[in-house]
Amino acid sequence: MRRFICLGVIILCLFLGVQTVQAGNFYLHEHPDYWWYVVEDPAFSAIIPSGADNYIERSIFGMESLLMTFKNGTITMEVNVQPGTDVESVRNSLDVRYKPLVKNITVLNNGEITTSNNLQTHFYAYEATGANGKKVMFRTVIFQRRHHVVYLTLFLESAQYVDDMREYWIRAVNGFQWD
């Protein structure tokens, strides 16, 4: 019995430790379907969905990333931060990232937009046929300030860009702000 209690306390401590690491970055939003995701360097905040299946923070070669998955991993939303000022290089790297998996690309938008927070951002979106034969969609907005680029991405089947997923994306894009 004592062994089970000790094991339970260890598991609880590990669980609380993992939660503490992430708690500094996620804050309650006035709407229960969202959280504020806050980063200190560079200082920005984004409104992200609170109902994702997974939230994974990672660091890859100097790029900090929050990966969110929905519907058993068939939908992916990301918030990425990297040093630099070249928005076009970021867009090109995203374009090339999945190029081997898609064909019949139709660019929906590749230009500047102004968000509801009055921020200029580069918006790039396309539809294509995925390796699975389904119509897929990629969307990204790229914000640049001082020596950092922050970009939000969404990968999903085109038929899934409806209802909550569409609203999550629009809210994330328009709720982004530099702090």
Binning pLDDT at 50, 70 and 90, where does residue 25 land?
confident
**Using 50, 70 and 90 to split pLDDT, how confident is the model at 18?**
very low
Tell me which DSSP letter residue 146 carries.
T
Q: How confident is the model at residue 12 (pLDDT cuts 50, 70, 90)?
A: very low
What is the helix (H) or strand (E) element at residue 129, kind and residue range?
A: strand 120-130
Tens digits of residue pLDDT in 121-166:
999 999 999 999 999 999 999 999 999 999 999 999 999 999 999 9
- The torsion of the CA quartet 43, 95, 67, 51, rounded to 10 degrees, works out to 100
Q: C-alpha angle 55/120/141, rounded to 5°?
A: 35
Sheet holding 177-178, edge to edge: 26-28, 34-39, 44-49, 177-178
Model confidence over 83-110: pLDDT tens digits?
999 999 999 999 899 889 999 999 999 9
Question: Could you give the percent of the chain with pLDDT greater than 90?
Answer: 82
Which long-range CB contacts under 8 A does 156-159 form with residues at least 24 apart? Answer: 156/74, 156/75, 156/76, 157/74, 157/75, 157/130, 158/127, 158/134, 159/134, 159/135
- Residue 79 pLDDT > 50: yes
